[in-house]
Amino acid sequence: MSNRVKVEIYGQSYTLGGDLDEAYVQKLAQYVNEKMIAAAEATQTVDSVRVAVLAAMAIADELHSRQQETGQRDDALRAHARQCLTIVERALKQTA
């Protein structure tokens, strides 16, 4: 089921099609719009293509940072799980 959602990003209207929930698409569009406004204000850039690229880089940086944090958290959890397994294995050997 494909629906069409009209959004506004940086003063431009876009009609997007897809299977995503309309509220979710609106939320994404609002986020991109906010990033573009922030990029324009921070750089005093009026060229919408430049603003879009700068906003895309900011969003990509956020994504990459969160992926790194998640990876580090996963590594720490694996290490703790290995430690717990070692403790359990030792306890089992002592009771056998």
What is the rounded distance in angstroms from the CA atom of residue 79 to the CA atom of residue 16? Answer: 44
pLDDT at 89: 87
What is the rounded distance in angstroms from the CA atom of residue 31 to the CA atom of residue 59? Answer: 9
Please state the pTM of the whole predicted model.
0.75
The whole-chain average pLDDT of the chain stands at 93
Mean pLDDT calculated for residue range 27-51: 96
What is the rounded distance in angstroms from the CA atom of residue 37 to the CA atom of residue 30? Answer: 10
Quick check: helix, strand or coil at residue 75? helix
pLDDT one-digit tens code per residue, 2-38: 789 999 999 999 999 989 899 999 999 999 999 999 9
pLDDT at 1: 55
- What percent of the chain is modeled with pLDDT above 70? 98
What is the rounded distance in angstroms from the CA atom of residue 25 to the CA atom of residue 22? Answer: 5
